[in-house]
Amino acid sequence: MSNEQDAILFLTSWYPVETNPTHGIFIRNHAIALSQFRKVIVVYAYSSNQKSSLQIEEAIVNQNLTEYRLCYSKSFFSVKPLSSFLQFIKYKKAHQQLIAHLQQKKIKVKAIQVNVIFPVAMVLDLYRKAFKADYTIVEHWSGYLKQDGNYKGGILNRTTQAAIASTKKIWHVSEPQKQAMLEHGLNGQYELIYNVVDTTLFKPGKKSNSRIQLLHVSSLVEREKNISRTFKAIKKLQNKGLDFDFVVIGGDVEELNNAKNLAKELQLANVKFTGVLKPEHVAEYMQQSDALILFSHFEGMPVVVLEAMSCGLPVFVSKVGQLPYIINKDYGVLVNTGNESQLVSGLENLIKGQLKFDSVAMREFVLMHASLEAVGKQICDFYSRQ
């Protein structure tokens, strides 16, 4: 068995890169949390049609966390099976290059942590053979849920089933996700893990303006985040003569343009689109807002809700993912999925000053369950027992 100084190797399907800085940010936050207690190595191979240096990018985040990223070119062929096969060959070669680099550095590995099973589990055996290590899984993907419905296809199913069969632990991010995985026959040792909040950044602040400000933060992807009905709810509030500002944060170019066009079509007033912002600027908006709205069709454990709570900001959210197990009347308002009337009614009561929430209790909940220290210790304690 490896000693306590050996690294936990994060083998990940998603991770932030320069061209997509929010992709898998919650995985990076788990790595940072664990690095407070022990050494962590992250490896990530990804394709791009913008750049392909095939040079390993090394980033030292802190004394216990080093990231290795390798970008390779996408394959473009009209015959999809051939394109997918060539893409996998490139993916495998990239990981072989990463493994050779780690071995050259004489990095020792105590355990491998697979973050999002597919596609990285397709190269898991390469790492297990190279480092003679057992592995765990942290699954963030929502594809197992009926509302998402993307857990299908022979390669995906076989790869997932094989990974689940031999893992020491499966950390899940919501009870519905766990139940969906079990319904697919993916049995194992499950344990809930929270997404991480930087509570030194996301903290209560003094509101500097007297106007009511409602906030939405997400990728703005319609099929998941339900942007159209969120905006319709905002329009209904405005039609009632209620005066407030509405700030929308996030979205890539396409999703942001779609959201702006919808706002224009609905003739929303006092709406501001910021695009993707750095975490510190998101925190500032949360400190200046009166409520966060997340009217999603489905979720896992949305970190934006935990970040809002860490700022003492009440949340108005759908009963999806882990949210029904987290949100109570002191933290915000839960509404049935897709029920605009419930959302409008709750927000109207907020704007009229008829609702009270416990900002201190929100903050304490996040500190106890989702802080860097709490989550890092949870993961570290498991590996220390192995």
In this predicted model, what pLDDT tens digit does every residue of 228-241 receive, in sequence order?
999 999 999 999 99
Residue 202 lies in a domain: no
pTM assigned to the model: 0.93
* 67 and 179 housed in the same domain: yes
pLDDT in tens, 2-22: 345 799 999 999 999 988 888
Q: Are 164 and 189 in contact (CB under 8 A)?
A: no
CA pair distance 145, 3, nearest whole angstrom: 38
Strand partners, 112: 9, 135
Residue type, 337: T
Residue 40 lies in a domain: yes
CB atoms within 10 A of CB 59: 10
CA pair distance 116, 27, nearest whole angstrom: 9
Predicted pLDDT of residue 77: 62
* 33 and 181 housed in the same domain: yes
Predicted pLDDT of residue 1: 32
* 136 and 257 housed in the same domain: no
Spans of the chain, pLDDT less than 50: 1-3
* 265 and 356 housed in the same domain: yes
Q: What is the total count of domains within the chain? A: 2
Residue 43 lies in a domain: yes
Residue 207 lies in a domain: no
Handedness of CA 280, 282, 288, 291 (dihedral sign): negative
* 71 and 111 housed in the same domain: yes
* 187 and 222 housed in the same domain: no
* 160 and 280 housed in the same domain: no
- Where would I find the H helices in 66-174? 80-104, 124-131, 154-165
Q: Are 45 and 58 in contact (CB under 8 A)?
A: no
Predicted pLDDT of residue 3: 47
* 145 and 88 housed in the same domain: yes
Predicted pLDDT of residue 84: 84
- Using DSSP's 3-state secondary structure scheme, residue 302 falls into coil
* 380 and 345 housed in the same domain: no
> Which residues does 90 contact at the CB level (< 8 Å), separation at least 6?
47, 72, 73, 75
* 172 and 273 housed in the same domain: no
Among candidate residues 351, 292, 279, the one with its CA nearest the CA of residue 327 = 292
Residue 148 lies in a domain: yes
* 320 and 347 housed in the same domain: yes
CB atoms within 10 A of CB 331: 24
Rg (CA), the chain: 22
The whole domain housing 265 covers 213-368
Chain centroid to Cα 208, Å, comes to 30
Q: Are 208 and 290 in contact (CB under 8 A)?
A: no
Dihedral in degrees, nearest 10, Cα atoms 182, 158, 20, 253: -80
* 182 and 53 housed in the same domain: yes
Which CATH number belongs to the domain containing residue 112 in this structure? 3.40.50.2000
Among candidate residues 220, 270, 11, 201, the one with its CA nearest the CA of residue 125 = 11
Residue 201 lies in a domain: no
Residue 247 lies in a domain: yes
Residue 1 lies in a domain: no
Structure tokens at 299: 């979720």
Hey, which bits of the chain come out as E strands? 7-12, 40-48, 57-62, 65-73, 109-115, 134-139, 170-172, 190-192, 213-217, 245-249, 271-275, 291-294, 315-318, 332-335
- Using DSSP's 3-state secondary structure scheme, residue 260 falls into helix
Q: Are 47 and 21 in contact (CB under 8 A)?
A: no
Structure tokens at 343: 């959302």
